[in-house]
Chains A and B, each alone.
Chain A
Amino acid sequence: NAGVTQTPKFRILKIGQSMTLQCTQDMNHNYMYWYRQDPGMGLKLIYYSVGAGITDKGEVPNGYNVSRSTTEDFPLRLELAAPSQTSVYFCASRPDIGANVLTFGAGSRLTVL
């Protein structure tokens, strides 16, 4: 049982490049989330999903896209990277509405130059 796995751990992008942050969980959790954490700040919700095929925007969705084709996977896509997207990205999951404890991935540190 690996929990929530994120890849890559580190990545440097040039302005305008695109990339996908991968997130997969093996706990059969319905709810999955993407948060970003800027230096010295709290976590801001980017997108979330309550099950396969269902996604919704969070507080800061601009510049990102997500998909949820399976229960296990919840990739985050950056289409045109900008310096403002330099951050640490955390994926998290939880079973369902009755269980609020989040399991976090180890994070992906992204730098856009």
Chain B
Amino acid sequence: GENVEQHPSTLSVQEGDSAVIKCTYSDSASNYFPWYKQELGKRPQLIIDIRSNVGEKKDQRIAVTLNKTAKHFSLHITETQPEDSAVYFCAAIPDTGRRALTFGSGTRLQVQP
């Protein structure tokens, strides 16, 4: 089955700096890669996603890049703000086999004011 690894596990940045979180996946059949933000005690919320036929996608301060050849994808947050502090999860899902998202282990992002 799919295996998703995520790094780093914790990330501390100063307000206004950029943050980058990286994930690798193992199943070459995976073709959809979402990123979720989870605040303390809340459910995961989708913040951005990318499909395998696209190399990059941007939504305001958030961008995701995908390298299918290397099987890795990254989340980029620019001009970080204290409200960006949360745990971020990457995930992957193939169109065949087990049709369920496999999640990375999460990155705790702390934005220092």
Contacts and interface: CB of A to CB of B under 8 A. Distances in A.
- The answer to whether A and B belong to the same complex is yes
Interface in B44-85: 44-46, 49
Nearest to A34: B100
Given A41-B106, A42-B103, A100-B49, A106 B43 contact: yes
Interface in B14-54: 32, 34, 42-46, 49
A45 B100 CA distance: 8
A111 to B, nearest CB: 15
A97 B43 contact: no
Interface residues of A, number: 23
A48 B44 contact: no
Interface size, B (range) = 20 to 34
Contacts, number: 54
Interface string A66-109: 00000000000000000000000010000001001110111100
28 contacts: A31-B100, A40-B106, A41-B105, A41-B106, A42-B6, A42-B89, A42-B104, A43-B44, A43-B103, A45-B101, A45-B102, A48-B98, A48-B99, A56-B98, A58-B98, A58-B100, A59-B1, A100-B32, A100-B34, A100-B93, A101-B34, A102-B34, A104-B43, A104-B44, A104-B45, A105-B43, A106-B42, A106-B43
Interface of A: 31, 33, 35, 40-45, 48, 50, 56, 58-59, 90, 97, 100-102, 104-107
